[in-house]
């Protein structure tokens, strides 16, 4: 029995063989990727306007009861250690910037660091602008 090169059976077998060859060739890449360290989910960053950042800085930095931290993380996504005291966001801020409601904060130098209250990760760093 002769198989013509354009018969459906031949094309199916040829496609299957080509697929197996492709899988075995890419198997090395898949193997290497399986050993890669797991990706860390980036922390959600607050999307604040310059005006909202200004409001937050002005209200929070006016409060003299907030202790400034010297050795604390200030990079978005970093976990804030338990020994850093976090403060609730003031009601005045929440009324004007509602997306800050689920966050806590601390002050480092003249920066307000907003922290996610669920996992203590830095969500935003509000620095003084040259126009402030």
> Mind listing the pLDDT tens digit for each residue in 1-12?
555 555 666 656
Across-strand partners of 113?
A: 106, 125
What whole-number distance in Å separates Cα of residue 83 and Cα of residue 72? Answer: 9
Q: Which two tokens stand for residue 67?
A: 């202790």
Interstrand relation of 68-69 and 103-108 (parallel, antiparallel or unpaired): parallel
Q: Model's pTM, two decimal places?
A: 0.65
Fold of 50-126: Nuclear Transport Factor 2; Chain: A, (3.10.450)
Residues 70-83: tens digit of each pLDDT: 888 889 999 999 99
% of the chain with per-residue pLDDT over 70: 64
Identify the three-state secondary structure at position 82: coil
What whole-number distance in Å separates Cα of residue 60 and Cα of residue 80? Answer: 19
Q: Which two tokens stand for residue 75?
A: 């990079």
């Amino acid at each position: 029995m002769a198989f013509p090169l354009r018969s459906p059976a031949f094309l199916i077998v040829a496609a299957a063989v080509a697929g197996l060859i492709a899988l075995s060739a890419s198997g090395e890449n898949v193997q290497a990727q399986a050993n890669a360290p797991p990706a860390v989910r980036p922390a959600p960053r607050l999307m604040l306007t310059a005006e909202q950042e200004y409001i937050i800085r002005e209200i929070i930095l006016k409060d003299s009861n907030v202790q400034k931290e010297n050795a604390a993380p200030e990079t978005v996504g970093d976990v804030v250690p338990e020994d850093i005291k976090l403060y609730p966001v003031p009601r005045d801020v929440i009324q004007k910037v509602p997306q800050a409601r689920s966050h806590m904060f601390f002050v480092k130098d003249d920066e307000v660091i907003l922290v996610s209250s669920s996992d203590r990760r830095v969500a935003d760093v509000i620095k003084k602008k040259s126009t402030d």
